[in-house]
Structure 1
Amino acid sequence: MKIKSTPESDGRRTGVQSVEVGLSVLKVVAEANGPMTLANVASATGMPRSQVHKYLTSFIRAGFVWQTRPGEPYSLGPYALELGLAAMRRLEITQVAQETLNELRDELSTTASLAVWGNRGPTIVQWAETPQLISQTVRLGTVFPVLTSTLGLVFAAHLDRRLTEQIIEAELNIPNGAAARFGLRTWDDVERRLEVVRREGFVAADSVVASGVTAIAAPVMNHAGVIVGVIGVAEQLGLLESPKKDITVRALRAGAGRLSARLGAPARSDGAA
């Protein structure tokens, strides 16, 4: 990563070049898979070792870089970790989700939406819209059932049970209700269904909210591994039996994974959210 001076002709504000150069050194240490030697850092930045050493010494004093003793490799220090966690705690999913929703809409030519958990259940708060039936049936602020919507099942599979128990119990207690028609009549039925959701990492089902629509949903996690939202896409009925299903599922899970990564979630071994 060769460091170059930045002219002001690009319209950016005047900055302190030495700070920018120093941060490029810190970025190399932060992005490494493990501790880095001085030679490694110098090679990655394209800077002389003596110059890199001065920056690293200052970062050690400030707590951004850690070195067990002189001559040993460098790794992130305690304040760098604290700063990263503070940034992730302040980052709200709605601040960064729109780009992912737009990408899914454009890639799949279908409506993509984001739901968060509200006091009455999964609630649509953001979306990238296309002129489809789902757009005419479901609006921002729509609250979905838990047991009979893909959004709700994903939340139920990952949220603390104390947040979902009353709503699930109420849906189970409706005689011949939608949950029963879905084959969910007891808590044992629910637990088996949610275990499948956790194992597969997504839910796909024909919608009971919007007639003629198949919905697919996947979770978005934060840095603590806690679900903070669910991304869903809607297709015309029949998707579950079409070759496009696998393409849609892969795209959705990849999008949810990218959004989770932006919120600091650790990557899963399968690369999904």
Structure 2
Amino acid sequence: MELEKDTRRGIQSIEVGGALLQTLVRFGTPMMLKDLAREAGMPPAKAHPYLVSFGKLGLIEQDSVTGLYQLGSFALQMGLTALHELDAIKVASEQAAMLSLAIQQNVALAVWGNHGPTVVRIQECNRIVHINMRAGSVMSLLDSATGRVFAAYLPAHLTAELQQQELAHKPAAERPDVAAMLAEVRAHGMARAVGYPLAGINALSAPVFDNGGQLALVITTLGPAAEFDPDWHGTLAQQLRGCAANVSTLLGYRGNA
């Protein structure tokens, strides 16, 4: 779907100067004037006055020894304020809605609650998909794709008690190799469930990280096995990975999710 062009009137000089700030954010490292100006698409003579003004506002700082430009203290304050105001569920919900529309499967968001992996939002696709899951559902830590992502990426001390409880309720012969299972999740960057624990339902789950590199929530897509390809490298898996990575980026994560 093509986005409508923004026809609102703005101040061109601010937009031009903003390219310098965007360049510093994109590269994430101090830069020489000539390099900064080139990457922002302007000559150094044009870039310099903007940098002087940004410096007075604290948006940009210049190292007195090396002459390199970098983001300033006020830019940092702005970023921290923006991160503080971010609502991870709201951000993820918008992306989940687009994912559900694109893949025509239901998409669920889950967070770590008092009783374990807890579904907080379900985005239903345009077609009818009968799945017994709703907001407030608590998922199994080891048997569900959603739970395995939490088990793989949360600190062990948060999940250890629930993990032991679930294992204790299984016959010894049915207890999974938890270490191998979680290693598989980390290797693929996601978890999957094929026909279990919900019979006839497949699922894929991917982690979303916050600006501190911590697991913020899990995005899960699920649907009838006949219409849901659980292949690690299939189209559904790729689109889910892309959605989770995009949400992580919007939350300020700068690592390699």
Unmatched tracts of structure 1, length 5 or more: 1-8
> How far apart, in 1, do the equivalents of 2:63 and 2:230 lie?
57
Whole-angstrom CA distance in 1 between matches of 2:219 and 2:101: 15
Q: After alignment, is 88-97 or 142-151 more displaced?
A: 88-97
Structure 2 residue 166 is the aligned partner of structure 1 residue 171: yes
| Alpha-carbon offset, residue 143 of structure 1 | 1.0
Alignment-derived partner of residue 3 in structure 2: none
Q: Is the 8 A contact 2:222 2:228 kept in 1?
A: no
Question: What is the percentage of aligned positions where both structures have the same residue?
Answer: 34
Q: CA deviation at 1:168?
A: 1.1
**Higher mean displacement: 234-243 or 162-171:** 234-243
Aligned to 1:253: 241
Corresponding residue of 2:116: 121
Mean Cα deviation higher: 220-229 or 29-38: 29-38
Cα offset, 1:86, TM superposition = 3.5
Q: How many residues align?
A: 250
Q: What TM-score, normalized to structure 2?
A: 0.83
Structure 2: gaps spanning 5 or more residues: 1-5
User: Is contact 1:205–1:240 with CA below 8 Å preserved after alignment?
Assistant: no
**For residues 31-89 of structure 1, what are the alpha-carbon distances to aligned partners after superposition, in whole Å with 9 as ceiling and x for unaligned?**
23543333444455566645532221232233321222288232222432343233224
Deviation per CA, 1:179-231: give whole Å up to 9, x if none: 964x42xxxx2222212211221111125453310111010011111001111
What are the equivalent positions in structure 2 for 1:103-252 lying under 5 Å apart? 103-130=98-125, 131-134=128-131, 137-176=132-171, 181=174, 183-184=175-176, 189-237=177-225, 246-252=234-240
CA contact (8 A) 1:66 1:74 kept: yes
Whole-angstrom distance in 1 between the partners of 2:233 and 2:254: 26
Residue 133 of structure 1 deviates from its aligned partner by 1.8
**Shift in alpha-carbon separation, 1:175–1:39, aligned structure 2, 3 A:** closer
Alpha carbons 1:214, 1:239 under 8 Å: kept: no
CA distance in 2, matches of 1:180, 1:239: 32
- The worse-fitting range, judged by mean Cα deviation, of 236-245 and 33-42 is 236-245
Q: How far apart in 1 are the matches of 2:230 and 2:169?
A: 33
Aligned equivalents of 2:186, 2:18: Cα separation in 1: 39
Counterpart-to-counterpart distance in 2, 1:76 and 1:154: 35
Instruction: Please tell me the residue identity of whatever aligns with 1:94.
Output: I
Deviates more, 1:45-54 or 1:93-102: 45-54
Counterparts of residues 93-104 of structure 1 (less than 5 Å): 93-104=88-99
1:93-151 Cα deviation digits (max 9, x unpaired): 112112321222122211111111111111111232032122xx111111111111000
Give the distance between the partners of 2:18 and 2:103, measured in 1 at CA: 38
2:135 & 2:197 partners in 1: Cα distance? 14
Amino acid at match of 2:68: P
* TM-score normalised to structure 1 length: 0.78
State the SS of the aligned residue for 2:234.
Answer: helix
Say if 1:243 and 1:41 are closer, same or farther in 2 by CA, change over 3 A: closer
Distance 1:24 1:88, change over 3 A: same
